[in-house]
């Protein structure tokens, strides 16, 4: 069995504007994160037209963000990110060995005493955010997954399987502006909706969960079924599970993140890690086209 997979990834975004854009600023999250299980071996971003300025720097969540400014009229914009990433196997995990969910909740609750820096980083993924509302409705939906004393990862994986069974993957029916309550009512959505909804359920219990953007393997392993969300940007989440730390779960596919998942960035929700967003002056009506390929180029045992 492979313990690591090396990928070559291309992510192309093209804008054809309805008129001249006189000035624009763009913010890109298109640089893969380095993590204990993942290494970015090569990375480049090609731009047409060339920007007047470019700055690469870390954001508040430790992601690399690319800031661009265009100060000359242009009717199109093409951004091509090319990367080579090696993804290794996560360590073995025993869900039953994680702490009871109530202990985790209480340990992250405000007591009036200063928190250690590690806990401060975790706590910011426990609060409501622009695309993730904390509601009793979400807590009630997940109630059967978190009985008293349930180890937190056992409960989180039960919730992941419940969402995977109850909801239908429906590309094209929702967008980032679709309210989470509508997703919950219709039981239909795409990967970002699954991730946001599961995060909402976990945070409604007082637990910490963060949104992860990235990619899925395009070509499945021999004899395997292609995962939902391949050939496009994908989204999943990570839940804080002491003593293991952050554990990544993919409710769209009902599985833990593994060798098929390449992480780009993480934050509180989609708004923190959108691959490309910006502000333009002029341009008229426009719609981006996005093309993603994820090609495994080697497997290491």
State the DSSP string of 71-82. -S-EEEEEEEEE
The average confidence (pLDDT) of the chain is: 92
What's the whole-number mean pLDDT along residues 62-86?
A: 96
Mean pLDDT value of segment 33-38: 95
The conformation of residue 177, written as its DSSP 8-state character, comes to: T
Q: Where are the alpha helices (DSSP H) in the chain?
A: 101-107, 117-123, 136-142, 152-166, 180-186, 191-204, 270-273
Q: Is 17 helix (H, G, I), strand (E, B) or coil?
A: strand
Q: What is the tens place of the pLDDT at every residue in 149-166?
A: 999 999 999 999 999 999
What's the CA gap between 92 and 189, in Å, rounded? 31
* Predicted local distance difference test score (pLDDT) of residue 68: 97
Going along the chain from its start, the domains and CATH numbers come out as 4-88+274-300 (2.60.40.2250), 95-272 (3.10.620.30)
Of all residues in the chain, what percent carry a pLDDT higher than 90? 81
pLDDT higher than 70, residue 301: no
Strand-strand pairing, 168-169 and 188-189: parallel
Confidence of residue 288 (pLDDT cuts 50, 70, 90): confident
- Tell me what pLDDT residue 227 has: 56
- The structure tokens listed for 198 are 């599961």
* Spacing of C-alpha 284 from chain mean position: 30
Tell me how far apart the alpha carbons of residues 107 and 115 are, in angstroms, rounded to a whole number.
10
**Separation CA 80–CA 6 (nearest Å):** 20
Query: Nearest to residue 54, comparing CAs of 72, 68, 71?
Result: 68
pLDDT tens digits, one per residue of 205-251: 999 999 999 999 855 555 555 555 455 689 999 999 999 999 999 99
> What pTM was estimated for this model as a whole?
0.92
**Can you read off the two tokens belonging to residue 65?**
């963000």
Dihedral over Cα of 178, 181, 183, 186: its sign? negative
Element (H, E) at 136: helix 136-142
- The alpha carbons of the chain give a radius of gyration, in whole angstroms, of 20
| Phi, psi (rounded to 5 degrees) for 229 | 105, -5
CB neighbour class for 183 (10 Å; exposed up to 12, middle 13-18, buried from 19): buried
Band of residue 81 on the pLDDT scale cut at 50, 70, 90: very high
- Residue-level length of the chain: 301
């Amino acid at each position: 069995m492979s313990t690591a997979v090396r990928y070559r990834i291309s992510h192309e975004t093209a804008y054809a504007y309805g008129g001249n854009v006189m000035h624009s600023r763009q913010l890109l999250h298109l640089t893969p994160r380095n993590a204990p299980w993942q290494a970015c071996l090569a990375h480049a971003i090609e731009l047409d037209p060339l920007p007047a300025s470019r700055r690469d720097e870390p954001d508040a969540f430790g992601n690399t963000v690319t800031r661009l400014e265009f100060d000359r009229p242009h009717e199109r914009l093409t951004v091509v990110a090319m990367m080579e990433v090696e993804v290794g196997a996560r360590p073995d995990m025993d869900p039953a060995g994680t702490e009871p969910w109530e202990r985790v909740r209480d340990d992250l609750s405000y007591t009036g005493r200063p928190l250690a820096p590690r806990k401060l980083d975790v706590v910011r993924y426990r609060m409501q955010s622009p695309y993730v509302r904390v509601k009793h409705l979400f807590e009630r939906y997940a109630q059967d997954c978190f009985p008293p004393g349930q180890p937190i990862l056992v409960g989180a994986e039960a919730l992941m399987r419940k969402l995977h069974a109850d909801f239908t993957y429906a590309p094209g029916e929702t967008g980032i502006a679709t309210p989470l309550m509508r997703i919950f009512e219709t039981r239909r959505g795409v990967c970002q909706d699954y991730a946001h909804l599961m995060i909402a359920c976990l945070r409604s219990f007082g637990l910490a969960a963060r949104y992860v953007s990235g990619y899925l393997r395009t070509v499945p392993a021999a004899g395997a079924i292609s995962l939902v969300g391949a050939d496009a940007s994908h989204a999943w989440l990570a839940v804080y599970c002491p003593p293991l730390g952050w554990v990544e779960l993919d409710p769209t596919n009902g599985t833990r993140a593994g060798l098929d998942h390449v992480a780009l960035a993480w934050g509180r929700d989609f708004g923190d890690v959108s691959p490309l967003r910006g502000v333009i002056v002029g341009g008229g009506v426009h719609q981006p086209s996005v093309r993603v390929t994820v090609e495994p180029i080697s497997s290491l045992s």
